[in-house]
Structure 1
Amino acid sequence: MPRMTMIEAIRSAMDVAMGRDDDVVVFGEDVGFFGGVFRCTHGLQQKYGVSRCFDAPISESGIVGTAIGMAAYGLKPCVEIQFADYMYPAYDQIVSEAARLRYRSAGDFTCPMVIRMPTGGGIFGGQTHSQSPEALFTHVAGLKTIVPSNPYDAKGLLIAAIEDPDPVIFLEPKRLYNGPFDGHHDKPVTAWSKHALSEVPEGHYTVPLGQAVTRREGAAVSIIAYGTMVHVALAAAEDTGIDAEVIDLRTLVPLDLEAIVASVEKTGRCIVLHEATLTSGFGGELAALVQEHCFYHLEAPVMRVTGWDTPYPHAQEWDYFPGPARLGQALRDIMEAR
């Protein structure tokens, strides 16, 4: 199998989906002729033509609203919001129309669409190019939310999302785009290891939505993470020598609660890790679920390791991120807690 970056895997997913189904269309800002600001759609317009992959005006509300109409008509749009930070003008369309279409039409209409968004920091993009807004989508009934941590999953999950009959938010961690993020470092990685790229099948395959995976077996503490933070969790476990189990959620909604409960019941301790801010982050929901379902198995309070409760700090970007040092301290603290 070829080795791919996440960008290449995402492009391959759209290529496969478009080749199998003429109803799949791709559009957004600069995704056609230019191939996307991160080059995820490079070559798709040349291969499938301007009616299947095309540029849209700088109007996120227009992009999503048009996609909803296409989906109701029977097409399967896969649209790109250039940065997750840009999705706020389209939020009303996402929440009030896409998420509710199946219910408000009593099942007469569905909304088979995917909204792709680069998420998180790591490129010194500042406050308007670095946010992690996943909790704004997981709160909305009717939406599915995906955050892959590696190229293999990114391709399989994106194909599954495109084939799903309901709206899916597909959040792509920018720090993982061009190669494997080295979770041991709290600073930018300037060189990517070609030897650590994921092996990704060239053809069609899917990764089931709502199915977490254990990235590292352990018996002392469970680390629940997704996206870039999976790599941080693996690095911190290695650095500290603590026998931590790392669960990669892959999809936040639907959530694999069974995998979380099984892990925490085994270890008795749990740390929830994400890049987004602490207050009202998705980690709060995870911590509550662990408390509700695993209370009598817990040997210490559930801990959260997250970004700061501040506007995104451009100059302190790499201090803002939960890194292996901060997570390592939390691991030591939770092992000492009684």
Structure 2
Amino acid sequence: KYAESPYKSEHVWTLSGLSWLPQLLEQEERECARSDIFSIAEDYEESRYILVFSPRGGRLTHGAELCHMSEEGFSGEGFSSFDLERTRGSLVLIRKQTSYGAAINVRFSVKAANGDFRLWGDAMRLSVPARDQAEPKCFVSGPDLAADAKGVFGLSFEELLKSEWVQEDAITFKVAIEEIVMGCHPDEGALSAADIKSQFEIQTPPSVVEVPPPTLTTDLLAMLTEGQHSDVTVEAAFGEAAPVRFTAHASVLSRRSAVFAATFAHGMRESATRTLTVRDVPPPALKALLYFLYTDDFEQVLEVLREEGGAAGDAPQRGALLQAVLAAAHKYQV
């Protein structure tokens, strides 16, 4: 039963004086800051971690090997055995070098101005294979290790300093780790590395919530075109042609146009008959204006004019209709 009782822990790390960090790191001849060493599975020496932060997503030269003894009483060495030239990121979790394997689930979060932690990237469930090299290797993981653009939520360091993630020149990270430790190297015959790998292949968890695309614009336009629950008629009486009527909704027209709002609110004839007659706007232009009022999308205006202008004439005709739409929009303070 591989996943019966994984070790679980969260580690919170606050970096203060963030705006001074690039200069201080340059003085110390390293490119990132490091946290204290922390552990997940206390009974296993291999279950030791540090977090490192590089303000500009540079090389992970953190200098942990200079800390000979941490507050917890174990050596700070053993956290630099990885490809320092090719491994670059902003926030990176480093597991102490070891020949033994493990299965790890990692989530990175950043504290916002309201005090809540927001997930940065997807949760990562990873298999750390046992290694048989002469020199054990570290395991590294981070939310932007594989990204071309480095930075917290894709922000540059200068943008980060002005963002909601920095309060009083400090930023707070949280890493949540679940770990199942391989207690023996597979060469000792106690456990097969293949057994662990078959259970804990690298996975990309599905999104927590799949949000459907918005439909408000489509729904409002359907109310106009289908006349659902309409309570007013807008009549285009232009020239000698027969009037063209459009069913509409007084609440929408009033909200979108101060002139329409005054028309329906001050006891005018239109407020009693629920019919608003427009005499100086061609029917296609009035239709296009109504489409814009319901969708706030100028592309809808152009689509109406393409349909109406194509049926009524050529490009000059469509141009004249567009001028009529703009004049009507000005008249009704849209």
**TM-score, normalising length: structure 2:** 0.25
Larger Rg: 2
